[in-house]
Structure 1
Amino acid sequence: MIGRLRGVLVEKQAPEVLLDVSGVGYELQLPLTSFYELPELNQEVVIYTHFVVREDAQLLYGFVTKQERALFRLLIKTNGVGPKLALTILSGMSASEFVKCVEHDDIATLVKLPGVGKKTAERLLVEMRDKLKSLMEASQGSEREFVLQSNYSAKPQVNSAEEDAIAALLSLGYKPAQASKAVSGVYQEDMDSETLIKAALKSML
């Protein structure tokens, strides 16, 4: 099982990246909370991974912290939640925000995420409560725990930020009209795609 990769970031198009590890290119899908923290292209980065093997595909998911990967693994153990939906959940809100939803039984916020209906949200609140308590206790002493803050500063991508943002939202399960409306509603001149994605997601919660 592949648990961690250290390599050079050669491509990134949310939510996917290509990591060059000693000449081998690994394609990974990251939740946007992790994607925001990536360095610029051609910089070295360490990514914690979770490998999924299906009959029709082999998929590698990446995370910038062990805590976020641990939460992802707990999510996919929940009945009705697969890797794609877990990635969507962690892209729509930070891990700390998800913890707050569980602590406060906040179904209303969870159902705003694509693919999360009322029944799925209710299962998440019930099944994740005890799991999160154990995970947070195991994480005590970690400086960051579930707090994921962006330190990535990208250069503006002229004429492509809106397209990149819409493509990222579509890949997470949002409908084309919904993604386009959210992006156009928050777009400001000189916004880079990562900032635009983050603002569009926030506007839908």
Structure 2
Amino acid sequence: MIGYLEGRIIQHESDGILLLAGSIGYEILLNPITLAQVTKDSSEEGVVSLYIYYHVTERQPKPVLIGFGTPEDKAFFQLFISVSAVGPMKAVKALTRPVGEIARAIEEKDVSFLAQLSGIGKRTAEKIIATLNGKVSGFIDSAAQISQTSPRPLDKSLEEISQQVEDVLVDQLGHSLASARRLIKEAFDRNPAIETAESLFDEIYQEGR
């Protein structure tokens, strides 16, 4: 079983790469987001590293290697393919948006967003939500959430503010991660002009005053 590979790209394809690891070349399928990232990494650093999902079945006897940039992306993929209408080959083509955004859409039951993914129509989107809603909140990053709550572009300072407040809500005030992120999202919904951690806390707790 192959779970991780590190090496140099010696050939690019439209849906993957040929990776030279040691003296062996591995054909690896990549979703569009990961393909763009490893192409960038390869041009900047020369060496790329990938977490591998090894796919082989009786119907698919030829092993297929599917690569991911992080263990979290691989874990999300494994949840994604647990949906009856989504197999590995379909899923790797469908992940045309960052994992955090797809997870957010699942948790918010956003059928229209999911239906726009490559090869995923309305019916499959509904099956994805029915199967995974409530199971993927941990994959939603703060940037994906705030980008949906504020009409202005997310800058680094807002991302840092959100993370600071999230840490305090979870570590010091006893909120769950999902609850903390929901409170932050609702605060930005009510007041997109928030610019400091203090004003974000004030907005979160104004409902209780």
Q: TM-score, normalised by structure 1?
A: 0.61
Q: Deviations over 1:68-108 (max 9, x none)?
A: 11111101111111012211221x21111101211221111
CA distance, structure 1, for counterparts of residue 23 and residue 143 of structure 2: 32
Greater than 6 Å deviation, 4+ residue runs: 143-146
| Larger relative contact order, structure 1 or 2 (CA cutoff 8 Å, min sep 6) | 1
Matched, 1:86 2:88: no
Query: What RMSD, in angstroms, separates the aligned Cα atoms of the two structures?
Result: 2.5
Amino acid at match of 1:111: A
For residue 2 of structure 2, give the secondary structure of its aligned residue in structure 1.
coil
SS in 1 for 2:54: strand
Secondary structure class of the residue paired with 1:131: coil
In structure 2, the partner of 1:34 is 34
After superposition, residues 156-175 of structure 1 pair within 5 angstroms as none
- Give the residue type in structure 2 aligned to 1:131: K
Query: Which of these two proteins has the greater Rg computed from alpha carbons?
Result: 2
CA contact (8 A) 1:88 1:114 kept: yes
Report the AA paired with residue 57 of structure 1. K
Matches within 5 A, 1:1-205: 1-38=1-38, 39-40=41-42, 43-55=46-58, 56-90=61-95, 92-133=96-137, 135-136=138-139
The count of aligned residue pairs is: 140
Distance 1:103 1:145 in 2: 12
In structure 2, what residue type is equivalent to 1:76?
I
Kindly state the Cα deviation for residue 116 of structure 1 after the two structures are TM-superposed. 1.5
Structure 2: which amino acid aligns with 1:49?
A: I
Q: Give per-residue Cα distances to partners, 1:152-184, cap 9 Å, x unaligned.
A: xxxxxxxxxxxxxxxxxxxxxxxxxxxxxxxxx
CA distance in structure 2 between the partners assigned to 1:145 and 1:51 by the alignment = 29
CA distance in 2, matches of 1:119, 1:144: 28
- Counterpart of 1:122 in 2: which secondary structure? helix
